[in-house]
Structure formats: C-alpha cells, structure tokens
C-alpha cells in the first residue's frame, strides 16, 4: 500500500518526495485527541484507512490539521481508494469545504469522509458532500477500521544544488597545481573521530568525479573504526580520466579510550611521510617510539 500511495501522489506532485509516518491508530489510539496531538500543524498530509474487507482508502490535503471547528479551503485535496491493483482518485468538488477541523475526529474531508469518527475505529461516509464517489467503490460499505495512518508528504529537497557552481568547483580541482613545483599531487589528510564520515567523504568525492556511485573505501556505522589501515586514494576524473592533482589520505578514527583508535601523536608521522599506503594502523604507537617523534 505504501508504494501505491506514493504512486498516487506522484501524479499530484512533480518532484521527488518521501512519506513520514505521523500517526498510526493501532499504536497511538483511535481517538481524535491522539490524531490531533501528532498531526496538527503538519502539512501536506495523506491519510489512509484500512478495513477488514481489504479496502485501503483516504485523502490528501495540503492544509495543516487543527481543532478550529471550521472548514478549510483546499483546491488540491482529493480522496482515493485502493482495492487490489485498482486505484481511483476523487478530486474535491467544493474546495471551500475541502477539510473540516473537528477535535473529536480523525482526518475529516468535507462532510464526505471521516476516519476515526467520534474517536472510534469507524468511518463516516457521505458521498456527494464536496467529493463524489460511491460507498461500495470507496470502502465496500465496510465502515469498521482496522487501522488508520497519517503521513506527512515531504516533497522539497533537503538542499538546493546550483549545478553550474558544482561544475566550476570540479574544474577548479582538476586544474589545481601545488605551489611547490616538484610536487605533482597535494595530499589531503582526513582526520576525525570514529563515525565522522572520513571514508564516506572520500567515497562521495570519488563518486562525483567518476560519474557513478562507488564505495572504494570501507564505510558504515560502528562504535569502533572500520578503517584499520592508513590509505592513500587517488581520484580520477571519469572512468578513464587522468588522476586529479590531489590524493585523499584516510586513516583510523580518533577514540577516547587509551590505546584505541589513532593516537593523535602519530599524526605527525603521517605528515612527515613516514607511513606507506596500506600501513596497519595498530602499529602506529610502536612506530612513534622507534622514530622517536
């Protein structure tokens, strides 16, 4: 059903979006109070009702829910029903009365459809009141709810990307030249605590320049460092492109526990070039004593 609801909304919203669950009646309670506590002021939303007859139905509104007792205008609201592979959508016919804000009810669409009516696991159905549908088609005349869910539709990207600026930055990296003439590639050391995302940062940079997603460096979530070797990574501009004038150096994460993770004193050994690629990080402390640095 989750996938079908997203497919239904994709016809309404042109951009990429996700659904965040706000309210689930079987967990939070079949009451108007529980619904409003979790859903008021959130928008846009899609509300979904389920019954034992296998019908999945509900409505969408761009307006935030409240307990004002008033009708709210919404010219984009609609009801829908899913039965097997059959998907039907019913646009609002009276936008001025598209949604009703009643404290003792769950999602309340005009006077046509109410989920969790009067704080009970039942549906109020009255076709023709600002939405046109047939009861048999909408919910099979089964007005008992087995579940009711409300999702917030999050359709805006988490950030706006200026692609021209991205191209400019990539070109700047490609044409970068170290200030020392004898050095062809500058080395960038990635340092940070466990879980900071050092290896993931390299994978992201590598993916951008390769033009496809790569995971050359081991990365993930762990209480201890997944990186156990000092690694130097050369990045190419494209699958068959030339190496960039930078080398990203990845190492073990910093940890609070004594003897765990990268010893901060050993960073100087890395900066002085004493460590080859693939050097086992656990040997850093011994190396420091040998080199007396």
CA-CA distances (angstroms) from residue 34 to 6, 98, 134, 225? 25, 22, 29, 42
- Pick from 51-65, 106-120, 157-171, 279-293: least confident: 279-293
CA distance 121 to 224: 47
Q: Are 141 and 212 in contact (CB under 8 A)?
A: no
Of 223 and 102, which is predicted with more confidence?
102
At 81 the pLDDT is: 93
Q: Which of 86-90, 217-221, 257-261 has the highest mean pLDDT?
A: 86-90
Which residues lie closer than 8 Å to 190 by C-beta, 6 or more apart?
Answer: 198, 201, 202, 248, 249, 250, 251
What pLDDT shows up at residue 141?
95
Whole-number Å distance between alpha carbons of 126 and 285: 76
Beta 243-250 vs 18-24: how paired, if at all? Answer: unpaired
Averaged pLDDT for residues 55-82: 94
**How far is 5 from 12, CA to CA, in rounded Å?**
11
**Does the predicted TM-score (pTM) go above 0.85?**
no
- Measure Cα distances from 64 to 32, 35, 36, 73, 242 in Å: 15, 12, 10, 11, 53
Q: Are strands 229-236 and 243-250 parallel, antiparallel or unpaired?
A: antiparallel
Name the least confident of 27-31, 75-79, 214-218, 281-285: 281-285
Mean pLDDT of the chain: 81
pLDDT above 80 for 155: no
Alpha helices in the chain (DSSP H): 2-10, 25-28, 32-39, 135-139, 163-174, 198-210, 267-271, 284-291
Residues 15-34 have a mean pLDDT of 87
Q: What is the rounded average pLDDT of the residues 64-74?
A: 95
**Predicted local confidence at residue 100, as pLDDT:** 94
Across residues 213-232, what is the average pLDDT? Answer: 65
Percentage of the chain beyond pLDDT 70 is 76
Q: Hey, which of 19-28, 199-208, 213-222 has the most confident mean pLDDT? A: 19-28
Structure tokens at 185: 């590639």
186 strand-pairing partners: 246
Confidence of residue 197 (pLDDT cuts 50, 70, 90): confident
Burial of 76 (0-12, 13-18, 19+ CB in 10 A): middle
57 vs 87, residue with greater confidence? 57
Q: How close are the terminal C-alpha atoms of the chain, in Å?
A: 62
Quote the tokens at residue 40: 């008021």
DSSP three-state, residue 210: helix
* Strand-strand pairing, 45-51 and 56-61: antiparallel
Residue with token string 């990080």: 281
In this prediction, residue 85 has a pLDDT band, given cuts at 50, 70 and 90, of low
Q: Give the pLDDT confidence score for residue 255 in this predicted structure.
A: 72
Residue 286: the pLDDT is 42
- Residues 9 and 118: their CA atoms lie apart, in Å, by 28
Average pLDDT over residues 198-227: 72
Report the SS3 class of residue 12: coil
Q: Kindly tell me if the per-residue pLDDT of 248 is higher than 60.
A: yes
| Residue pointed to by tokens 């191209």 | 167
Rounded Cα gap, residues 128 and 130, in angstroms: 6
């Amino acid at each position: 059903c989750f996938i079908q609801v997203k497919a239904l909304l994709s016809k309404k919203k042109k951009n990429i979006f996700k659904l965040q669950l706000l309210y689930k009646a079987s967990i939070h309670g079949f009451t108007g109070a529980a619904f409003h506590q979790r859903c008021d002021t959130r928008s846009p939303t899609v509300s979904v009702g389920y019954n034992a007859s296998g019908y999945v139905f509900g409505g969408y509104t761009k307006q935030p829910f409240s307990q004002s007792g008033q009708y709210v205008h919404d010219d984009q609201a609609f009801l829908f029903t899913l039965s097997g592979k059959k998907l039907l959508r019913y646009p609002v016919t009276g936008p001025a009365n598209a949604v009703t804000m009643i404290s003792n009810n769950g999602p309340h669409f005009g006077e046509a459809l109410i989920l969790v009516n009067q704080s009970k696991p039942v549906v109020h159905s009255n076709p023709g009141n600002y939405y046109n549908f047939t009861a048999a088609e909408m919910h099979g005349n089964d007005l008992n709810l087995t579940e009711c869910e409300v999702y917030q539709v999050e359709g805006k990207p988490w950030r706006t990307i200026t692609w021209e600026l991205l191209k400019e930055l990539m070109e700047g990296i490609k044409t970068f030249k170290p200030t020392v003439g004898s050095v062809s590639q500058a080395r960038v050391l990635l340092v940070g605590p466990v879980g900071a995302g050092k290896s993931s940062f390299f994978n992201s940079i590598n993916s951008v320049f390769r033009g496809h997603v790569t995971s050359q460096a081991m990365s993930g979530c762990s209480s201890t460092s997944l990186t156990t070797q000092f690694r130097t990574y050369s990045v190419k501009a494209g699958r068959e492109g030339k190496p960039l004038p930078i080398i990203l150096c990845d190492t073990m994460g910093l940890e609070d526990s004594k003897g765990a993770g990268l010893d901060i004193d050993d960073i100087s050994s890395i900066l002085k070039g004493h460590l080859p690629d693939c050097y086992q990080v656990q040997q850093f402390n011994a190396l420091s004593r040998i080199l007396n640095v």
